[in-house]
C-alpha cells in the first residue's frame, strides 16, 4: 500500500482517506472509546468533582483560619490569666477594706460595742438608701480628675438597676446620734479607724450639753461604709 503523501497538494479529505487506510475498524473504535472516556472524565471533573474540591479547599482554608484565631485567643487568655494572678494579691489585700454583707448587717452591734467600751450611748442608728458608684466615677475619683457634668434632661425614673458589671462599689450612708463624753467620742472614732475598714464620717454636729460639768456632748451625724458590688447584689 502506497502511503506516500504529496504535502504540497494535501487536503483534509486525502488525509482522512490515508488514516482510514492505516487503521482498521477495531482501532477506530478504541480511539473513539478513549476519546469519549476523556471527554466524559472532563465533564464529570468540571461538573461534579471540581465544585466538591473547591468546597473542600474553602473548608480547609476556613479551618486553618479558625485554628490561627483559636491559637491567638488562647494566647490572649493565658496573658490575661498571668495578669490576673499578678493583680490577685493586691485585690485580696484591698478587698478586705470593704464591708461584707454580714458586716453591714452587724453594724449596729459593732458600733454599740465600741461605744460601750468608751462610755457612749447610741440613741439612733439608721441606714439610708444604698448608693452605687460606677467604675468610671471611681477611676476619675482615684485619678483626681473632675468630670465635666452635662446638664441632664428630665427623664422618667427607670426601675432597672445598674448592671453589677459596671459598678465598682456601694456606699451605705448611716445616720447616727451618740451621747457621752467628748474624749470617749474621740476614742470611739479612733477605734473605728483601726478596724481597717473603709468608713468615713461625712457629717458631724457636736453639741455640748449645757450645765454639765463632765464634758457631756451629743453628736448627730452621718457616716458612710463601703461594700463591694458582688458581695451585695
pLDDT in tens, 71-130: 888 988 988 888 878 766 765 666 666 666 677 777 788 888 889 999 999 999 888 887
Q: What integer is the mean pLDDT of 46-58?
A: 75
The per-residue pLDDT for 121 is 92
Given this model, what pLDDT does residue 211 score?
Answer: 81
Left if phi > 0, otherwise alpha if psi is -120 to 50, otherwise beta: which for 208? beta
Give the C-alpha separation, 11 to 15, whole Å. 6
Query: Distance between CA atoms of 208 and 120, rounded to whole angstroms?
Result: 14
Name the pLDDT band for 178 (thresholds 50, 70, 90).
very high
pLDDT at 142 over 90: no
Mean pLDDT, all residues of the chain = 75
Q: Classify each residue of 69-89 as buried b or exposed e, where b means 16 or more C-beta atoms within 10 Å of its C-beta.
A: eeeeeeeeeeeeeeeeeeeee
Residue 167 clears pLDDT 60, i.e. is over it: yes
Highest mean pLDDT of the ranges 4-13, 98-107, 151-160, 209-218: 209-218
CA distances from 57 to 41, 105, 206 (A): 21, 64, 82
Instruction: State which of 4-8, 62-66, 194-198 shows the largest mean pLDDT.
Output: 62-66
Confidence of residue 157 (pLDDT cuts 50, 70, 90): very low
Helix (H) or strand (E) holding 32: helix 25-44
Q: Would you call 197 helix, strand, or coil by DSSP?
A: coil
pLDDT in tens, 199-216: 788 899 999 988 877 779
pLDDT of residue 78: 87
158: confidence class by pLDDT, cuts 50, 70, 90? very low
Amino acid at each position: 500500500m502506497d502511503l506516500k503523501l504529496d504535502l504540497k497538494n494535501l487536503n483534509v479529505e486525502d488525509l482522512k482517506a490515508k488514516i482510514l487506510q492505516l487503521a482498521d475498524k477495531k482501532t477506530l473504535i478504541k480511539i473513539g472509546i478513549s476519546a469519549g472516556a476523556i471527554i466524559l472524565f472532563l465533564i464529570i471533573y468540571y461538573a461534579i468533582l471540581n465544585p466538591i474540591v473547591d468546597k473542600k479547599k474553602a473548608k480547609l482554608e476556613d479551618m486553618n483560619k479558625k485554628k490561627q484565631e483559636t491559637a491567638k485567643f488562647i494566647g490572649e487568655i493565658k496573658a490575661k490569666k498571668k495578669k490576673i494572678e499578678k493583680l490577685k494579691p493586691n485585690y485580696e489585700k484591698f478587698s478586705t477594706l470593704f464591708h461584707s454583707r454580714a458586716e453591714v448587717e452587724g453594724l449596729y452591734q459593732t458600733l454599740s460595742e465600741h461605744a460601750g467600751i468608751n462610755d457612749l450611748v447610741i440613741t439612733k442608728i439608721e441606714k439610708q438608701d444604698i448608693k452605687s458608684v460606677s467604675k468610671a466615677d471611681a477611676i476619675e475619683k482615684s485619678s483626681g480628675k473632675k468630670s465635666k457634668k452635662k446638664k441632664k434632661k428630665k427623664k422618667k425614673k427607670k426601675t432597672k438597676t445598674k448592671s453589677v458589671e459596671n459598678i465598682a462599689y456601694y456606699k451605705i450612708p448611716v445616720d447616727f446620734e451618740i451621747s457621752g463624753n467628748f474624749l470617749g467620742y474621740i476614742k470611739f472614732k479612733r477605734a473605728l479607724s483601726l478596724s481597717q475598714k473603709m468608713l468615713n464620717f461625712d457629717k458631724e454636729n457636736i453639741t455640748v450639753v449645757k450645765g454639765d460639768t463632765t464634758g457631756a456632748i451629743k453628736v448627730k451625724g452621718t457616716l458612710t461604709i463601703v461594700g463591694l458590688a458582688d458581695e451585695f447584689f
